[in-house]
Structures are given as C-alpha cells and as structure tokens.
Amino acid sequence: MGVRKPTLRSVAEAAGVSTATVSYAFSRPDRVSAEARTRVLAVAGELGYAGPDAKGRSLRTGRTGAVGVIFTTGLTYAFTDPYVTAMLAGLAEALEPSRTSLMFIPFGEVSAGMAPDQVRRSVDAVHRAMIDGAVADGLDDDHPAVRVLAERGIPLVRSNETAAGPSVVIDDRQAGRDVGRHLAGLGHRDIVALVATPHEPGRVVEVTEQTPLFPYSRLRLTGLRESLPADTRLRVISGGSNSALAGQVAARAVLRGSERPTAIAADSDVLAAAVAGVARERGLWLGAGLSLTGFDDQPVAAELGLTTVRQPVHRKGFLMGRMLVDPDSERGRITLPTELVVRRSTGPAPSVRLGE
C-alpha cells in the first residue's frame, strides 16, 4: 500500500488548527498570527505538504493569481530587448503588492505566415493559460490571441493606439511627425525608415506590405510621411526581428553603394545602435556623413549620442499592470507623453548649410 499524500486537512489536524488557517498560512499570511503560521509551515514540512493545489484553488475562488503576457517575438525577447525588459519591470512593480504572478505566453508571429497547425497550437496555449488578466504589446483587435481572450472573458490591457478597450499608449503618429520635422529641418530629403518586420532584414517593404507591421510602426510611418516635404525620397526597409544582428544586416544593405540615404529613422534604439556600429565600420560620422534617429531612449541612446524619441516605458508597464489588479484606479485609455531628445547623431544633410 502506497503512502498517502498529505492534504490540507491532514496538515490542519496534525497542527491542531482549522483548514482555513492552513490555507491562509500559505496564501494569506496577513490573516494568521506569526506563531500559527510558523507551526503550520513546520508541520507541512514534516509531512511533505507543499501547499494548496493552485488549480483547485482557482476553481474554488475563480482566480488564479496570475497575469499573462502575450509574446509574438519569442520568449527570449523578454530577456534581451531593453524596451520589453523595462516594460516588464514596470508591470512587475504594479503586480508585486498583490502577490500576482507573471506568466509568459508565446504566440507565433501571424504575419510571418504561420502554418494552420502553428496557429492552432498558439491559440491552444492562450486557451489553456490559467490567468486572471493579460497584457499584450502591439497586437491588433483581430489578432487570434486577442479574440481568444475576449471569448474567455479575460481582461486585456494593450499598449497600442488601435486597441479597443483598456490601453496605455503614446501618440506614435505625433512622435513620427516630430522625427520627420527634425530631419526635414536639417535639409534631409533622402531618408530610410528602418522598422522591425517579419521579413528578412535589408529588404524594401513596399506600401502594400506595410499593413502587417506592428500598429506602432504603421503610425510612426504615417507621422513621418505627413511631416516630410513632397520632394523627399522615403524608403521603408526591414530591420528584421529588432535585434542587433538583424539590424547590422539591414544597415549594411542600406549603407552600401550609391543609394545610401542622408538619414535613417530607426524604429527602436536597438536598430539604431546596430546602424551606428556599421556606420563606424564604413567610416561615417553620425551627424555629419549620416544622420540617425532611434526610438525609446534606452541607456544605449545616451551612450551613442543618439537623437531619439523618449517614451516612459517603465511607467507604461506599471499602469498596464495597475489597470488589471485595480481596475477602479485606472480606466479606459491613458496617453503618456513623448519627447524628441536631440543629440549629436543628427546634423545638416551633406551639402546643406543651414541659415544660408
């Protein structure tokens, strides 16, 4: 006969307390005395009891104590991209007081041409996730993950202006205008917009291919176009997966030969930093032979003297989390401010002398 698995009730009996006290000792220690909790945990350790079953508790209470984060760029992105790590830090800060856990939920990039079985596996992962709410960055209303969460009645907070429902956003279109006006004012008429896409880095992204871009990229491109003079040549080039390696491949393609632009407006500081490295290889001085802008104002931007759009990423993550754990504190949509931070990476276009 096998050894009986310890239960909440057997721990309560052995400790001489109620089952509620045992439950509180693990999940709500503020509800029991320090002495009672110490006794319960000691008995639980002796019996090999690890705590109430999370699945069973969620069925009884209707809550799991977890918030999901939807990733369409791979889970490793959460640990390597400075924008994502800053957003997650803010999110965790908002969730920590309520002891709410974070669950990372991978979902393949639909616009990259996922096979039906890949979409099905991703959808199943969202269906199975035991979460009370979710956060998604850069997903449109018709994204399969968004639809599944809506069907399940799971509260969702997003960070793009196209979102219907609770969201924490910046005015990406206006930020694009700010970049465009700055470059146009410096005399630049041959500009490349370098954006993260599911396409291979370095290839031209035609207008007909720009619909699947992330919502924020589409809005920034719209603002950029609106602010540039009619005689400006603007090319949209894929930066690939928004990584240093992909950015380097894209930069080498853009800076090769006679088609080199006078300015590059990168969709992130990650891509801009990659361009800066390749520019150095080619003997180009930023702000002189080539102007370069980024987006986010991560620490690397100041190190490189990069002109970039500053956005409060940590604050964005914090407010998204607070919308989920305390929906009465924040409602609807919050728009956070941005600022174009001008540094030495931008200057007059070659052969242009301002003020003459």
pLDDT in tens, 316-328: 999 999 999 887 7
Which structure tokens are listed for 217? 């990229």
What percent of the chain clears pLDDT 90, i.e. is strictly above it?
51
Which structure tokens are listed for 230? 């009619």
- Torsion on CA atoms 323, 329, 335, 336, rounded to nearest 10: -90
- What sections of 96-133 are H helices per DSSP? 116-128
In tens, the pLDDT along 85-108 reads: 999 999 999 999 888 999 998 876
Find where tokens 């699945």 sit: 55
Q: Which of 61-75, 238-252, 268-282, 335-349 has the lowest mean pLDDT?
A: 61-75
CB-based contact 80:243 (threshold 8 Å): yes
C-alpha distance from residue 60 to each of 24, 32, 51 (Å):
15, 21, 15
Question: Is a pLDDT exceeding 60 seen at residue 57?
Answer: no
What percent of the chain clears pLDDT 70, i.e. is strictly above it?
89
Residue 292 pLDDT class (50, 70, 90 cuts) = very high
Q: Please count the other Cβ atoms lying within 10 Å of the Cβ belonging to residue 306.
A: 27
Q: Please count the other Cβ atoms lying within 10 Å of the Cβ belonging to residue 62.
A: 8
**SS3 call for 117:** helix
Cβ partners under 8 Å of residue 98, min gap 6: 325
Question: Is a pLDDT exceeding 90 seen at residue 286?
Answer: yes
CA–CA separation, 171 and 217 (whole Å): 12
Residue 1 pLDDT class (50, 70, 90 cuts) = very low
Q: How do strand 339-341 and strand 307-310 relate by DSSP bridges?
A: antiparallel
- What residues pair up with 295 in beta bridges, in sequence order? 309
Residue type, 214: F
Is the whole-model pTM more than 0.75?
Answer: yes
In tens, the pLDDT along 217-230 reads: 999 999 999 999 99
Find where tokens 């000792």 sit: 25
CB-based contact 107:126 (threshold 8 Å): yes
Domains of the chain and CATH, by start: 8-52 (1.10.260.40), 66-169 (3.40.50.2300), 171-310 (3.40.50.2300)
Residue type, 121: R
Which structure tokens are listed for 199? 């396409």
Question: Is a pLDDT exceeding 90 seen at residue 354?
Answer: no
pLDDT given at position 353? 47
Q: H/E element holding 346?
A: none
How many residues does this entry show for the chain? 356
Q: Which of 11-15, 192-196, 253-257, 349-353 has the lowest mean pLDDT?
A: 349-353
CA–CA separation, 11 and 94 (whole Å): 33
pLDDT given at position 108? 67
More confident residue, 194 or 116: 194
Residue 187 pLDDT class (50, 70, 90 cuts) = very high
CB-based contact 137:155 (threshold 8 Å): no
Residue 52 pLDDT class (50, 70, 90 cuts) = low
